[in-house]
Amino acid sequence: MSQVGQVLPHAPKDADGIWINPVAEALNAKDAGEIRSGFTTKLMNLRGVHGFSAGEEERKIASGFRKTAEGLEKRSYSRFATAMRELAQYYERDAEREAQRNPYGE
C-alpha cells in the first residue's frame, strides 16, 4: 500500500492545487495510513538534492504544505489534511535545524 501511495503525488491537481477527488478520497480513508505514509514519503523524496538555505527553502515548502492542508480541511478531508500538516511540521523543524547549522563546519 505504501508503494501505491508513492505513485499518487503524480496524480493531477485541481485549480486550487488540491489532488483530484478520487485521490483525495483514497488518501483520506480511515484505513489508508500506509498509503498516506507512502504519499508523504514520496513528496519528501521529490525534493531531490538541495543546498544550504539557512532554513528558507524548508519554510517555503512547509508553507505550501500548510496551505494544501487548509484546502483539504475545507473539503472535509481531515485525515489527509493531518498528514499534510505533519509534513509541514517536519519541514518547519528541519528549517530550525538548518538555521542553527554552520554550513562551513566551524
* 87 grid coordinates: 509534513
Q: How many residues does the chain have?
A: 106
Higher pLDDT, residue 16 or 68: 68
- With cut-offs at 50, 70 and 90, classify the pLDDT of residue 13: confident
**What is the rounded (10 degree) CA torsion for 73, 78, 82, 88?**
-20
Q: Which has the minimum average pLDDT: 13-22, 32-41, 45-54?
A: 13-22
Q: How far apart are CA 32 and CA 1, in angstroms?
A: 8
Q: Provide the pLDDT confidence category of residue 14 given band limits of 50, 70 and 90.
A: confident
